[in-house]
Structure 1
Amino acid sequence: MTISPDFSAASTAVTAALAGYLLLGEPWAGRRMYGSLARRRHTEPRALVRYFGSVLALWWAFAALAVAALLLSPGVGAADLGLATPDRSAVVITGVLLAAAITMASARNFHDLARQGKNVPGRASIEAMLPRTPKERRLAVAVAVTDGLCAELVYRGLLTAFGVGVLGLDVTVAAALSVVVYAVAGFYQGRQGVLVFALFGVLFSGLYLATGSLLLPAAVHVLISVRDLTLPAPERPLAAAAA
């Protein structure tokens, strides 16, 4: 995969500001927002609805800044941000089908574990976000889809292009740097969350570099996010609130 973005001064400023916030501000803001949700989840009926609304607004604001960076730079094409037809269509189709099969199988397994009262891997770190009402479930799916699409555009597309076009890095090194920025976004889940985000960041960046398009990583990201945000909510009190 090769890209050659030429960022304008305005686009550089917009992207640098966004990258700085994602690296230094977002981890603390996300942790604060999630902590507040965990404390209010059982006492305020609309706490999760408001939380999901804030998350949706933030993601689309980030995506809008990515689009603005593209429009402000005549030397940056959509393909430089991964908005292109994949180099290997057969690989993408196979990858999407395989990812769908794996996530469906794991989702079924997680639901079985929940019904049996057993531990569901990873659920404790996000249980404040798990929906309990039909409206919350609809919003959870909307957040999961938005997360998959916008995160890939911002972290994989924009930040990788910024690393190549502004910092002069090789595309692989730029993608690795974007993984670091993405990993700290998991800080709201603690140290384990940072590690999990790093592992998934490596996966998504690898899929992006292998296909030259955001289509496959975005599809896989959406599938995983939908699976996780539709897990059965535990009946016991929130671990985060109790802590």
Structure 2
Amino acid sequence: MTALPDSLAEFGPAALAAVVVAVYLVVGEPVVGHVLHGRFEGRLRTDAGARRSFYRRLLVLEWGLSVVALVVWLATPGVDAAAVGLAWPRAWPGPLTAVVVVVVLLLVVASTRQLRAGALLETTRPARRSGHSPPAHGRHAEPPGQSTLALLPRTADERRLFTVVGVTAGVCEEWLYRGFFLAVVAAVTGGAPEVVLVVVAAVAFGLAHAYQGRAGIVLTGVLGGVMAVLYLDTGSLLLPVLLHALIDLRFLLVPASALPAPGAGPQGDAAG
């Protein structure tokens, strides 16, 4: 079990900075994610390097924010490494946690198959003639509800960079949303029960993926809650990091041949 702080005083002079970073994760990150993803989709039809550029922006954002949180934590005199999950697991997951993780993994596998089937459907769906396409302004490169599909890599270079993004998400997001964030929440609430921490972690993580729509919020929220349970159960970020990275890297199982070509799809041919 993780020994979380039970008082904001343990953060000492870094208490205000810790709260500001935690609030940003809940309020600011959804806004930034929405803006970045909107710009990304807007560039897909005219910029062959849009995905690579978006991946690089994600890497800068996640590592930059993680470093900020790390500096804040290093400035706290009363919060040790174990209190933010930077320790080896103290115990294996309990039976209930293990069952939940297995069920979630099965659901993730099922969702991956569904995503692949959806991608294949998009590649075989007849494209609309350009004369019937909607105006270019605000037009997305992927069908509504397929925001995840738009993110998947098509080329070898994109797949290599996406691999780095997947590993980064596992490391940085677990540090930010489980290790750092839950330590601050526990401190602010004076040692909230674990069930409350799990719910808060789930909501915060789901909102961070608001650009994926309601279904994305629910799915990532559930995954965030499962990661929180796994973290609190073991007292370490190690297993959540590994599981998170594997879940993100599963998208590499969707072959490029099954994905719509750049600019292809039901919303018209690529410009130029």
Whether the 8 Å contact between 1:38 and 1:128 is mirrored in structure 2 is yes
Structure 2 counterpart of 1:113, from 109, 113, 117: 117
Whether the 8 Å contact between 1:56 and 1:146 is mirrored in structure 2 is yes
Relative to structure 1, is the Cα distance of residues 116 and 72 closer, same or farther in structure 2, using a 3 angstrom cutoff? Answer: closer
Aligned amino acid, residue 47 of structure 2: E
Who wins on radius of gyration, i.e. which is larger? 2
Please name the residue that 1:178 is paired with.
Answer: 201
Is structure 2 residue 51 aligned with structure 1 residue 61? Answer: no
More displaced, 65-74 or 222-231? 222-231
* 1:1-243 correspondence runs (5 A): 1-5=1-5, 7-89=10-92, 109=113, 113=117, 117=121, 124-172=146-194, 173-228=196-251, 231-232=254-255, 233-235=259-261, 236-237=264-265
Relative to structure 1, is the Cα distance of residues 150 and 171 closer, same or farther in structure 2, using a 3 angstrom cutoff? Answer: farther
Distance 2:161 2:24 in 1: 25
Whether the 8 Å contact between 2:112 and 2:250 is mirrored in structure 1 is no
Q: Percent identity at matched positions?
A: 33
Aligned amino acid, residue 197 of structure 2: A
Aligned amino acid, residue 234 of structure 1: P
Number of residue pairs aligned between Structure 1 and Structure 2: 236
Distance 2:112 2:204 in 1: 32
Return the offset for 1:2: 4.2
> So what's the TM-score if we normalise by structure 1?
0.83
SS of residue in 2 equivalent to 1:126? helix
Whether the 8 Å contact between 1:3 and 1:161 is mirrored in structure 2 is no
Return the offset for 1:72: 0.5
Aligned amino acid, residue 46 of structure 1: G
CA RMSD of aligned residues (A): 3.3
Aligned amino acid, residue 191 of structure 2: L
* Deviation per residue, 1:168-192 (Å, 9 max, x gap): 1325123422222111011111122
Return the offset for 1:36: 1.3
Return the offset for 1:108: 7.9
Distance 1:180 1:230 in 2: 28
Whether the 8 Å contact between 2:207 and 2:217 is mirrored in structure 1 is yes
Whether the 8 Å contact between 2:116 and 2:254 is mirrored in structure 1 is no
Please name the residue that 2:134 is paired with.
Answer: none
Q: Which has the higher helix share?
A: 1
Whether the 8 Å contact between 1:103 and 1:227 is mirrored in structure 2 is no
SS of residue in 2 equivalent to 1:39? helix
Whether the 8 Å contact between 1:131 and 1:230 is mirrored in structure 2 is no
Whether the 8 Å contact between 2:122 and 2:265 is mirrored in structure 1 is no
Whether the 8 Å contact between 1:186 and 1:196 is mirrored in structure 2 is no
* Deviation per residue, 1:98-146 (Å, 9 max, x gap): 69x8599659846863686489xxx823122111111111111111110
More displaced, 203-212 or 104-113? 104-113
Whether the 8 Å contact between 1:3 and 1:171 is mirrored in structure 2 is no
SS of residue in 2 equivalent to 1:142? helix
Distance 1:229 1:64 in 2: 27
> Unaligned 5+ residue runs, structure 2?
124-144
Whether the 8 Å contact between 1:15 and 1:162 is mirrored in structure 2 is yes
Return the offset for 1:9: 3.8
More displaced, 10-19 or 154-163? 10-19
Return the offset for 1:39: 1.6
Aligned amino acid, residue 199 of structure 2: A
